Amino acid sequence: DRIERDLRSFADDETVVINVASTEPLPNFNERYHADIEGFEEMIDRDERKFATASMLYAYVALRLGLPYGNFTPSVGSSLPALKQLAIEKGVPHAGNDGKTGETLVKTTLAPMFAYRNLKILGWMSYNILGDYDGKVLSHSENKESKVISKDKVLEGVMGYSPYTITEINFFPSLVDNKTAFDFIHFKGFLGTTMKFYFIWDGIDAIVAAPLILDIARFLLFAKKRGVSGVVREMAFFFKSPMETDILNTHEQYVMLRDWFERLAEV
């Protein structure tokens, strides 16, 4: 396997693999090839390309080599049951999916406020325009799908109900590496009175993402050294669609991460 050779060629004990490639189209879940590691390896042996994506294969190789794996994209990565099983068997920690950088970070920080104060969210619209390559890829609807789903589930997870939502991602070339998100929140308070909240995020995805990627690598390596294996759900803080947890509230995620780190650091 070529990926394995590549990785072996430079990987050492301190190496962590993080997926920062562009978003892939969402594959259909396949019971035979995705459910357990035997099926997954059969898929590779038979070269069943239509069931495999690049992110799965990289995750597979990383975990097999005992390298912690982080998935910074909404692609499938290590989230298949087969690969979760492999991570446990190999004793390797992994985390994902989809780095929580801009608009979703704000959303999961702000939405809890409406919940705490019993202000009902009637609707939330999120318009994202991106000038970089990511925007170009996401402007193709197949690839966009996994991103939009990842963004939409977030609000339901925080609020406990499904507000009406609109999420659009558009390519806007003149922004270059800049990303602008515009959100509008319509909410209802006491006596049914409706009120409005707007925000504009004028940031640079790469600049917000870079330190997260470094932190993910450091926390995964730390986890490996402390003997953690399988999904590190306490790293939900970094992701839009964290694996094996329904804690999406940024504040709760931060407390969970901090407590987990302090607990392990003391050991």
**Which residues of the chain form contacts with a second copy (CB under 8 A)?**
105-106, 109-110, 112-113, 116-119, 122-123, 125, 127, 129, 164, 166, 168, 170, 172-175, 180, 182, 184, 186, 188-191, 193-204, 207-208, 210-212, 237, 249-252, 254-255
Cβ-based nearer residue to a second copy, 29 or 166: 166
Find how far residue 65's CA is from the centre of its chain: 23
Tell the smallest beta-carbon distance from residue 195 to a second copy (Å): 4
Give the position of tokens 């995705």: 34
Contact call for residues 174 and 163 (beta carbons, < 8 A): no
Nearest to 52 by CA among 63, 41, 62, 64: 41
- Coil, strand or helix at 120: strand
Q: What are phi and psi of 193, to 5 degrees?
A: -70, 130
Tokens of 239: 């992701």
Nearest to 197 by CA among 113, 85, 71: 113
Beta strands across the sheet bearing 93-96: 17-19, 69-71, 93-96, 230-231
Cβ-based nearer residue to a second copy, 51 or 239: 239
Tell the smallest beta-carbon distance from residue 220 to a second copy (Å): 18
Tell the smallest beta-carbon distance from residue 90 to a second copy (Å): 31
Cβ-based nearer residue to a second copy, 2 or 160: 160
Cβ-based nearer residue to a second copy, 120 or 233: 120
| DSSP line for 152-199 | HHHHHHHHSS--EEEEEEEE-GGGTT-EEEEEEEEEE-GGG-EEEEEE
Tell the smallest beta-carbon distance from residue 198 to a second copy (Å): 4
Q: What are phi and psi of 182, to 5 degrees?
A: -120, 125
Cβ-based nearer residue to a second copy, 212 or 232: 212
Cβ-based nearer residue to a second copy, 63 or 232: 232
Give the position of tokens 């995020």: 201
Q: Measured between alpha carbons, how far apart are the two ends of the chain, in Å?
A: 38
Tell the smallest beta-carbon distance from residue 6 to a second copy (Å): 28
Contact call for residues 219 and 93 (beta carbons, < 8 A): no
Tell the smallest beta-carbon distance from residue 192 to a second copy (Å): 9
Cβ-based nearer residue to a second copy, 133 or 254: 254
Tell the smallest beta-carbon distance from residue 134 to a second copy (Å): 16
Cβ-based nearer residue to a second copy, 42 or 166: 166
Tokens of 159: 């609020």
Tell the smallest beta-carbon distance from residue 156 to a second copy (Å): 17
Instruction: Compute, in degrees rounded to 10, the torsion defined by CA atoms 74, 103, 142, 158.
Output: 70
